């Protein structure tokens, strides 16, 4: 499978003035839109920038870099591709990423070829995939020719294929993975294509954070995992496979855990496995953060009235009459199980099954009682969780027997 990279430029978050009153359930740009949710971030480049966009909206962020970018300035393949570009005039240059184009120009400078390369590129049509690629071209003193509205390699390919490519020399700057299908179709149309491998993606050196994130996703300890590149998706799937958890991870992404991707190219490895990944309309980090801030409160919150109090049950917290109260894993697991059947009695034996760690039979009764005690203490007002003698516990809601 060909994995493609999407660079997602960040947008500044919209912040409320200090001290502004905020109510849970406010719009996606509000500081508390993601309060109570835990989101895994797999990005390497601009990781802190994206994490800050989520944290400013109240999210708890788990950082688990999946991949690392390895420049190929010393790579013989890059030098050979550069010399091939210099051997004859180039008609079109496809610039897929800003960082890749800058790396190519920097490498050429190191080889003493920067003036020759700039001269050749200046006579070509520079097709930039997105605004960052376009910015890198302009920063090099060159003129960009065209940028697709969708910022996708697919639209660049269709743009080229709509023309007579017979005999045209096209240089394609790669971005960490081979663009196998892209290149093959251009060559089939008669173009002479030079692949320019500026850098490649490799697994992150320390894989333990990513493996922990896999376990957290499988166990439901995170509410969403955000991806900004297809190689990061593949790296997480590979890490899960190595631990025998790939099927469980796909099941989690197909169920309670949201897979959020910056765009369709990033989402493709998941979509091909049947995962309903959510995506923003524009491939931007800010747009991805807003999409999560809109989606999670709409689809991952249980709202009900218990004991005359308004509850909003989120990932690791519950809002009681608008006041957010974080909960430890055991009380939260119990609350969610009770909320599955509001107003109905849930037996202790049933509650025991949802407790983290799977307590032994001898300690089950005590573990459930402790979880209930901690839950009531965290909720605050009395009368939300009721004890039904010799049967179990229930949320003080009207029963829905439909």
CA distance 24 to 324: 8
Q: Is the pLDDT of residue 235 over 60?
A: yes
Token pair of 208 as six digits: 């333990």
Q: Is the pLDDT of residue 115 over 90?
A: yes
The dihedrals phi and psi of 159, each to the nearest 5 degrees, come to: -60, -45
CA distance 89 to 270: 40
- What are all long-range contacts of 387-392, with beta carbons under 8 Å and residues at least 24 apart? 388/345, 391/345, 391/347, 392/345, 392/346, 392/347, 392/348, 392/350, 392/351
- Domain ranges for the chain, please list them: 27-66+204-299, 72-201, 327-395
Min mean pLDDT across 66-75, 91-100, 194-203 is at 66-75
**Do 27-66+204-299 and 72-201 come out as alike in CATH topology?**
yes
Q: Report pLDDT for 177.
A: 73
Q: Is the pLDDT of residue 23 over 70?
A: no
Instruction: Report the DSSP pairing between strands 309-313 and 302-306.
Output: antiparallel
Instruction: Give pLDDT tens digits for 259-276.
Output: 999 988 789 899 999 999
- CA dist 166 → 231, 321, 337 (Å): 32, 68, 64
CATH code assigned to 72-201: 3.40.50.10090
Residues 124-152, mean pLDDT to the nearest whole number: 94
Instruction: Report the DSSP pairing between strands 317-320 and 309-313.
Output: antiparallel
Residue owning tokens 């007002």: 381
Q: Is residue 137 within 8 Å of residue 144, measured between CB atoms? A: yes
Confidence of residue 356 (pLDDT cuts 50, 70, 90): confident
Instruction: Give pLDDT tens digits for 360-371.
Output: 555 667 899 999
Architecture of domain 27-66+204-299 in this structure: 3-Layer(aba) Sandwich (3.40)
Q: Report pLDDT for 7.
A: 40
Q: Is residue 397 within 8 Å of residue 310, measured between CB atoms? A: no
Contacts of residue 17, Cβ cutoff 8 Å, sequence gap at least 6: none
Confidence of residue 252 (pLDDT cuts 50, 70, 90): very high
Residues 42-47, mean pLDDT to the nearest whole number: 87
Token pair of 83 as six digits: 């010399």
Residues 276-293, mean pLDDT to the nearest whole number: 93
Q: Report pLDDT for 3.
A: 37
Q: Report pLDDT for 74.
A: 59
Contacts of residue 147, Cβ cutoff 8 Å, sequence gap at least 6: 127, 128, 129, 130, 131, 133, 134
Q: Report pLDDT for 4.
A: 40
Q: Report pLDDT for 18.
A: 34
Q: Report pLDDT for 19.
A: 36
Yes or no: domain 327-395 corresponds to CATH 1.10.10.10: yes
- Prediction pTM value: 0.76
Tell me the average pLDDT of the chain: 88
Q: Is the pLDDT of residue 20 over 50?
A: no
**193: number of Cβ within 10 Å:** 20
Q: Is the pLDDT of residue 139 over 90?
A: yes
CA Rg, the chain, in Å? Answer: 26
Q: Is residue 177 within 8 Å of residue 231, measured between CB atoms? A: yes
In the sheet where 317-320 sits, what is the strand order? 302-306, 309-313, 317-320, 323-326
């Amino acid at each position: 499978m060909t994995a493609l990279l999407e660079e997602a430029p960040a947008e500044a978050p919209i912040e409320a003035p200090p001290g502004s009153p905020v109510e849970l359930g406010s719009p996606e740009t509000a500081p508390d839109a993601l309060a109570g949710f835990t989101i895994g971030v797999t990005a390497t480049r601009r990781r802190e920038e994206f994490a800050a966009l989520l944290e400013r909206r109240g999210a708890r962020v788990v950082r688990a870099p999946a991949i690392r970018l390895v420049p190929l300035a010393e790579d013989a393949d890059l030098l050979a591709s550069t010399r091939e570009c210099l051997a004859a005039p180039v008609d079109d240059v496809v610039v897929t990423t800003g960082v890749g184009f800058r790396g190519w120009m920097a490498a050429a400078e190191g080889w003493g070829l920067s003036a020759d390369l700039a001269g050749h590129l200046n006579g070509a049509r520079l097709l930039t995939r997105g605004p960052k690629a376009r910015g890198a071209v302009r920063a090099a003193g060159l003129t960009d020719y065209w940028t697709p509205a969708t910022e996708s390699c697919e639209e660049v390919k269709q743009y080229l294929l709509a023309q007579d490519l017979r005999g045209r020399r096209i240089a394609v700057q790669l971005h960490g993975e081979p663009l196998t299908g892209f290149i093959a179709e251009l060559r089939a149309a008669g173009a002479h294509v030079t692949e320019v491998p500026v850098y490649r993606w490799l697994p992150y050196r320390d894989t333990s954070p990513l493996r922990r994130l896999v376990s957290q996703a499988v166990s439901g300890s995170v509410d969403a995992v955000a991806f900004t590149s297809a190689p990061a998706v593949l790296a997480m799937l590979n890490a899960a496979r190595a631990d025998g958890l790939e099927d469980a991870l796909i099941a989690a992404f197909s169920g309670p855990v949201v897979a959020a991707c910056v765009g369709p190219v990033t989402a493709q490895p998941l979509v091909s496995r049947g995962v309903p990944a959510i995506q923003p309309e524009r491939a931007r980090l800010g747009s991805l953060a807003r999409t999560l801030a809109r989606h999670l409160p709409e689809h991952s919150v249980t709202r009900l009235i218990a004991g005359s109090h308004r509850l909003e049950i989120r990932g690791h917290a519950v809002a009681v009459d608008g006041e957010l109260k974080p909960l430890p894993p055991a009380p939260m697991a119990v609350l969610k199980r009770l909320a599955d059947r509001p107003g109905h009695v849930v037996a202790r034996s049933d509650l025991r099954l949802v407790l983290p760690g799977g307590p032994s039979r001898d300690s089950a009764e005590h573990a459930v009682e402790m979880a209930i005690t901690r839950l009531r203490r965290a909720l605050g007002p009395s009368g939300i969780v009721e004890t039904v003698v010799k049967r179990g516990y229930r949320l003080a809601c009207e029963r829905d027997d439909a």
